[in-house]
Every structure is written in structure tokens, then in C-alpha cells.
Amino acid sequence: MDVPRNEYCTNYPCDQNIIDIFKGSFFTILPGITTTPGTAALMDDGRIKWANEMYPLKGKKVLECGPLELAHSYAMHALGASDITSVEANSYCYLKCLCVKDIYKLPVKLLLGDINKYITESKDTFDFVL
């Protein structure tokens, strides 16, 4: 039988408390968070900007494969992608994605599972795949 986790936060409710659950395991720099959870500027990634210059994402339906911490979904949403589906296989990363989605109010369809199975079994179509 699994023992329930009894970890309580005694700080005033804020987004920082959410990120602190994963202290030391974030890769992404998160805007507005007091302490830097990570060191990678993935929410402002030049590669996403470059992709947008080559193929404008505004109004596009996007599939993101392995979002890690949802940073690229954040960037694509900021560039105007209208419909983003992100599929993450790692359950720990999925939980971090849920937190980022909530903190930044991202309108992303976040799925937990195997991207290969999703691609072969889903009837969904996309304009852009990352």
C-alpha cells in the first residue's frame, strides 16, 4: 500500500510555491518567478522565432512533441498559434507542464502519452509540428 504524501506548503499562496515543488529540476527560465528555476531561455527561443519567420504560426494548428516544460508552447502561443496540442510521455515533465500551463493560463491541450501512438492513431491534423 502506498503511503500518502504529507507535504504542506506554509507560505502565502503564489506561483513561486508551485515551481518550488520541482526545485532544482526545471530547465526553463520562467518570467515572473522570483527565483530562477532554470537557465535555458526556452520561452524566448530564437529557433521558434526563426521557424515563425519561415512559416508564420499565427492562426495555425500546432502539435508539439515532448514539450518538457511547455516553454515552446508558450512561445508559439505568443506568436499567435491558435490551437496547440502538446504530447509529453514523461509523467514528471507532464506535471511540470501542467503547472506552467496553469501559471501562464496557456490554452494548450496537454496530453500524457506516447507521441508515436498519438500520431499513428489520432485523426487530428496539424499545420505545424515541433
Ramachandran quadrant class, 116 (left: phi over 0; alpha: psi -120 to 50; beta: rest): alpha
Q: Give pLDDT, residue 4.
A: 67
Contact 12, 23 (CB under 8 A): no
Using 50, 70 and 90 to split pLDDT, how confident is the model at 38? confident
Buried b (16+ CB within 10 A) or exposed e, 104-114: bebebebbeee
Ramachandran quadrant class, 113 (left: phi over 0; alpha: psi -120 to 50; beta: rest): left
Count the alpha carbons within 13 Å of 22 in the hemisphere toward its beta carbon. Answer: 22
What CA–CA distance (Å, rounded) separates 78 from 16? 22
Q: What pTM did the predictor assign? A: 0.91
What CA–CA distance (Å, rounded) separates 80 from 28? 21
Find where cell 496539424 sits: 126
Question: What does the pLDDT look like over 85-113, one tens digit per residue?
Answer: 999 999 999 999 999 999 999 999 999 99
Counted residue by residue, the chain has a size of 130
Class of domain 42-129: alpha beta
